[in-house]
């Protein structure tokens, strides 16, 4: 069983409706939302969010 949690003093992202979390490391490596429709469809198909994918 795998379990993840934020360390004590780390802020936990709480996006509002329609927002997604994107990390600066993703941007530094060339990711730029909103991305193509294909990319969004792949994320939706696999029930993923951009923050679920490592840079």
pLDDT tens sequence across 1-55: 666 666 678 777 888 887 877 778 877 888 776 678 898 899 899 998 877 887 6
Q: What is the pLDDT of residue 55?
A: 63
Distance CA 50, CA 44 (A): 10
Q: What is the pLDDT of residue 46?
A: 94
**pTM of structure:** 0.42
Instruction: State both tokens at 4.
Output: 């993840």
Residue matched to tokens 């927002």: 19
Q: What is the pLDDT of residue 29?
A: 82
**Cα dihedral across residues 32, 36, 38, 44: positive or negative:** positive
């Amino acid at each position: 069983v795998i379990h993840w949690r934020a360390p004590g003093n780390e802020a936990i992202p709480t996006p509002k409706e329609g927002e997604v979390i994107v990390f600066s490391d993703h941007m530094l490596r060339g990711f730029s939302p909103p991305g193509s429709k294909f990319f969004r469809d792949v994320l939706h198909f696999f029930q993923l969010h951009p923050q679920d994918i490592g840079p």
